[in-house]
Amino acid sequence: MPRRRHWLLLSLLVLLLVGYWLLPIRGSIVLGDAVPTSGWPQIWTEPAVPRPGEPLTVYVRDTAPWTDVALLVGAHLVARDSTYDPGADPWTWRWHTTLPAASAAITFYHSCSTGCIQRGQQIFGPSPTHPPALRQPTKLGAVFANPDRDWHNQAAWTVDLTLSVRADAADWGIDALAERVAQAHASGLRVLVRVVYDFGQSLPPAGDEVALSRYLAYCARLARDARLRDVYGYIIGGGFNSAGENSQAPEQPTTPVWVARVLVGAGLPATRSDNVVQQMHAIAPSVRVLVGPVRPWLNDQDGTLPDALDQPWLNYFNTLVAELDATIRAKSAAGIPLAAPDGFALNAFGRPEALPDQPGREPASDLRRPEWGAAQAGFRVYRDWLRIINRYPATSGAPAFISAANTYTPDTQIVPLQNYPVGWLTAALDEINAEPQVQALCWFVDLPFGETWQEWSLAAPQGNLYAAAAEFDQLLQR
């Protein structure tokens, strides 16, 4: 009898353990860098079973008084209900929103003032049974690409923008950027982000160490922010040789030496790491840092190390790349890895009016102007940029991304609405597909942002841009 009672007690214990593990678990998926107390954070909603499109209140409760919390619902950031008292130990925050779609993730972040850290995530509804199908990669893309357009299952490119001195601005700050990145990623787009100091000032003014320290802090914040983990690469500045990108401090222009100092620490001891590349790589080694583009056909600045073709824009770029090369090799000799940029962003604009009989074939043509000698005067200026990149050991073969292309040139000032010829985008994409070093061809621009870029926009076409928009869509279906 005692033996029988022993087996009954042992069987009951096993059943209790099995029953415990089969109980439903309250939904709280915890991700991120911080290691929370078991079961924290707690995320729940009212109603408990939310439906897409209906009003929804989200609560998050946690064991720490996190500052600068944020909530991402699907691809949209939600403003926190500041009238709700978080209480104490534990602390609770509240948001009002709608669920955009079934199985949309609700993600909680904290410490967003220095780069959001993901703390927890909740998914309501059934999880996908299969991973999403891979999209077909393409080199085609656009600046401010419309995430709602039909991308025909293509993994195309988009180029976005953020301003370091306007980190909290409604349009160009980090929160607005994070929302656009989430929307682009949900549409299957690869995202490049151009990081500039301010409107009219691509990088901090030369020699302004205070402005530079703030710019570096913003770049570090971008690298740290978990909401931006899907960014493919960051383009640092751009248009450095343009007077328009030095308008806040024209007496302190961004020379090639200063640009190289910002990027890789040129002119400093090799052991110094206060530069964009090393800081961003130290925080997120997988982050790609791209050298911003130099504008072609401008005489606003020159370089101290002339290119063989001896034109101001090429001399400027040659001097910049030479400074990058020397600094990267010096750091390598000192045993410092991950100090080189991960590629270059390029500008390549077309000049279709130079070929009146076949304007659509302009991208496949070598154009020259007497005053510019042998320098390329049209879309094939990208070849001049590549020639300089590949001249130096530390940058030779580096990936290149045409982050802005269209049929506007500053000397003619004829907008694409007026001069776009049928076939130009097709010829440009064919040209770039034949060049393995170039990874992207992005038309400037898709979404016009109000009336700012209407005469360049594919998403809101006018005039000849109807043909460009139709051609862009056809190329996505090739």
Listed by start position, the domains of the chain span 42-123, 136-476
Average pLDDT of the chain to the nearest whole number: 91
Token couple for 386:
């590549």
Q: For 304-333, how does the pLDDT look when each residue is reduced to its tens digit (9 = 90+)?
A: 999 999 999 999 999 999 999 999 999 999
H or E segment to which residue 4 belongs = helix 2-22
- Report DSSP letters for 285-297, one per residue: TT--EEEPPPPTT
Token couple for 372:
């510019």
Whole-angstrom Cα distance, residue 291 to residue 260?
Answer: 9
Dihedral of CA 326/329/335/338: which sign?
A: positive
User: What pLDDT, on the 0 to 100 scale, is given for residue 35?
Assistant: 38
Q: Which residues pair with 191 in a beta bridge?
A: 158, 231
Whole-angstrom Cα distance, residue 146 to residue 135?
Answer: 17
Confidence of residue 117 (pLDDT cuts 50, 70, 90): very high
Cis peptide preceding 445, ω within 30 of 0? yes
Ramachandran assignment for 333, one of left (phi > 0), alpha (psi -120 to 50 degrees), beta (any other): alpha
Amino acid at position 147, single letter = P
pTM: predicted TM-score of the whole model, two decimal places:
0.89
User: What pLDDT, on the 0 to 100 scale, is given for residue 12?
Assistant: 43
Amino acid at position 402, single letter = I
User: What pLDDT, on the 0 to 100 scale, is given for residue 130?
Assistant: 67
H or E segment to which residue 190 belongs = strand 190-196
Confidence of residue 129 (pLDDT cuts 50, 70, 90): low
Whole-angstrom Cα distance, residue 45 to residue 50?
Answer: 7
Stretch 201-210: mean pLDDT? 97
Fold: same for 42-123 and 136-476: no
Confidence of residue 38 (pLDDT cuts 50, 70, 90): low
Instruction: Provide the CB-side half-sphere exposure for 363 (13 A, CA).
Output: 25
Q: For 76-115, how does the pLDDT look when each residue is reduced to its tens digit (9 = 90+)?
A: 899 999 999 998 889 999 999 998 887 788 999 999 999 9
User: What pLDDT, on the 0 to 100 scale, is given for residue 126?
Assistant: 67
Q: For 343-380, how does the pLDDT look when each residue is reduced to its tens digit (9 = 90+)?
A: 999 999 999 999 999 999 999 999 999 999 999 999 99
User: What pLDDT, on the 0 to 100 scale, is given for residue 128?
Assistant: 63
Which of the listed CATH numbers 1.10.10, 3.40.50, 1.20.120, 2.60.40 matches domain 42-123?
2.60.40
pLDDT above 60 (res 287): yes
User: What pLDDT, on the 0 to 100 scale, is given for residue 30?
Assistant: 36
Q: For 223-269, how does the pLDDT look when each residue is reduced to its tens digit (9 = 90+)?
A: 999 999 999 999 999 999 999 999 999 999 999 999 999 999 999 99
SS3 at position 8: helix
- Report DSSP letters for 445-471, one per residue: -SS-TTTTTTTT-SSS--TTHHHHHHH
User: What pLDDT, on the 0 to 100 scale, is given for residue 61?
Assistant: 96
Phi, psi of 371 (to 5 degrees): -75, -15
Lowest mean pLDDT among 92-106, 126-140, 228-242, 272-286: 126-140
Amino acid at position 464, single letter = N
List CB contacts of 224: < 8 A, sequence separation 6 or more.
114, 115, 116, 117, 283, 284
User: What pLDDT, on the 0 to 100 scale, is given for residue 133?
Assistant: 77
Q: For 429-468, how does the pLDDT look when each residue is reduced to its tens digit (9 = 90+)?
A: 999 999 999 999 999 999 998 778 999 999 999 999 999 9
pLDDT above 90 (res 395): yes
Stretch 156-183: mean pLDDT? 95
Cα–Cα nearest to 77, from 178, 196, 1, 202 = 178
Stretch 19-48: mean pLDDT? 55
Which of the listed CATH numbers 3.40.1260.10, 3.20.20.80, 3.40.720.10, 3.40.190.10 matches domain 136-476?
3.20.20.80
**What percentage of the chain exceeds 70 in pLDDT?**
91
Whole-angstrom Cα distance, residue 140 to residue 138?
Answer: 5
User: What pLDDT, on the 0 to 100 scale, is given for residue 10?
Assistant: 44
